Amino acid sequence: MKKIGIMTTGGDCSGLNSVINRIVLGARNRGWRTFGIIDGTDGLCHMPANAIELTPESVPVEMARMAGSFLHNGNSGIMNFETAIKMGRVDQFNKNLKRSLATLHLDALILIGGNGSFSLAYKNNDIYSKLSLVCIPKTIDFDIPLTDRTIGFDTAVNELVKYCDQVLLTARSHHRWFVVQTMGRECGRLALNAGVAVGADAIIVPEIKFNVDDLVEHVRCVPRDYGIIMVSEGITLRGHSGRPADMISRALTAAGITNRAAFPDYIQRSGDTTAADRITAAKMVTCALDAIENRETNVITALQDNVCKTVSLADFYAAGDISRDPNIPDLCTSNAYIEPDDPLLDVATAMNIYIGEMK
């Protein structure tokens, strides 16, 4: 009988519990036992590992729609890794994690994470050398290369749209513009998708240069005195400092345009998981369990042209834009961004949405 482990890492998002529930049910149907590692990497920092056996009763299907993680994600694991780097003890830190993981006697581990977690696993794959490692991508940022979808992204877009729908009502009442700041780090996909869905009049993303004077002029030309300007948290504005939405808001105020900055913040990580994310979870879990049965390791599940398949961690890492991780010293992560030929950019332009200096 196989024993498989589950670990959720990094920032939380809707869909994690859907993945966990589907893994437990799918594993049971194959006659396997499932163990959840509590608090992600934090749980592996314990000796023995902080883990519990999971059953359909402990991860009930009616709660699988909820945001957050049954297993919690943990934060101090990253801090411990940073400390190990500063003290020159990365090898010892990894040995401790490997030893702790060995106490569980697992045949496989399913790591549910983002590009930081996957890049870290790729760079330190010796930790998982005694078992099969399969990664399932989840992130509201949708910044993971080689997959057409990540778990949690669709729900985050929907939560942003619901937020903006309500903001638009007060915007109309008070003849006021709202500058809404989204999450997404250096990737603007969340802002782009939510902006198009809500009918924003401008979408500012890190991948596309913009001119603040052109933005102001565009807003002036809109035939109403209210609306939404969607701004990704990763943008910069030369000569200005502070939060992106505040920077844009100040520029609009200086031009005599009544506005307010708005910050939906962590509601983007919450909300009942949408049907699209639940279906993605089911597809990726089935693919992950098949990979374990086929003795694959060091792979991630990826949706490509609506077909779920596995790609190697090495291919994932090589396919992205490699940059230094701001939270983990000495770690370079593989990132995906909005491509210049993204069809949604053309859609936005056709809707008369200002998106910056398109080439």
Pick 156-269+340-350's CATH classification: 3.40.50.460, 3.30.930.10, 3.40.1390.10, 3.90.25.10.
3.40.50.460
Instruction: Respond yes or no on whether the N-terminal peptide bond of residue 48 is cis (omega within 30° of 0).
Output: yes
Q: Supply 169's token pair.
A: 């009502």
Report the candidate in 59, 46, 55, 40 with the shortest Cα–Cα distance to residue 109.
Answer: 40
Rounded CA-CA distance 321/169 in Å is: 39
The reported pTM is 0.95
Determine the straight-line distance between the first and last CA of the chain, rounded to whole angstroms: 57
For tokens 């009918």, name the residue: 199
Q: What is the pLDDT of residue 79?
A: 61
- Let me know if domain 3-152+273-319 sits in CATH 3.40.50.450: yes
Encoded amino acid at 225, one letter: D
Give the helix/strand (H/E) hosting 285. Answer: helix 275-293
Rounded CA-CA distance 97/109 in Å is: 13
Decide if 141 is catalytic.
yes
3-state secondary structure of 332: strand
Q: What is the pLDDT of residue 44?
A: 87
C-alpha distances in angstroms, 241 versus 180, 208, 234, 236, 244? Answer: 17, 19, 12, 8, 8
Q: Residue 13 carries which DSSP code?
A: -
Handedness of CA 93, 302, 315, 105 (dihedral sign): positive
Which residue in 12, 39, 42, 141 is the catalytic one? 141
Rounded CA-CA distance 337/330 in Å is: 22
pLDDT per position as a tens digit, 315-331: 999 999 999 877 676 78
Q: Is the backbone of residue 162 left (phi > 0), alpha (psi -120 to 50) or beta?
A: alpha
Q: Which residues, in sequence order, are CB contacts of 221 under 8 Å at separation 6+? A: none
Sequence ranges of the chain with CATH classification 3.40.50.460: 156-269+340-350
Rounded CA-CA distance 181/32 in Å is: 44
Strands 332-335 and 321-324: antiparallel
Q: What is the pLDDT of residue 83?
A: 65
Residues paired with 33 in a beta bridge: 3
**Is 1 in contact with 35 (CB distance < 8 Å)?**
no
Report the candidate in 96, 136, 154 with the shortest Cα–Cα distance to residue 4.
Answer: 136
E strands in 194-281: 202-204, 227-232, 259-262
Count of alpha carbons within 13 Å of 205, Cβ hemisphere only? 26
Q: What is the pLDDT of residue 78?
A: 62
pLDDT per position as a tens digit, 157-203: 999 999 999 999 999 999 999 999 999 999 999 999 999 999 999 99
Sequence ranges of the chain with CATH classification 3.40.50.450: 3-152+273-319
Q: Which residues of the chain have pLDDT under 50?
A: none
3-state secondary structure of 26: helix
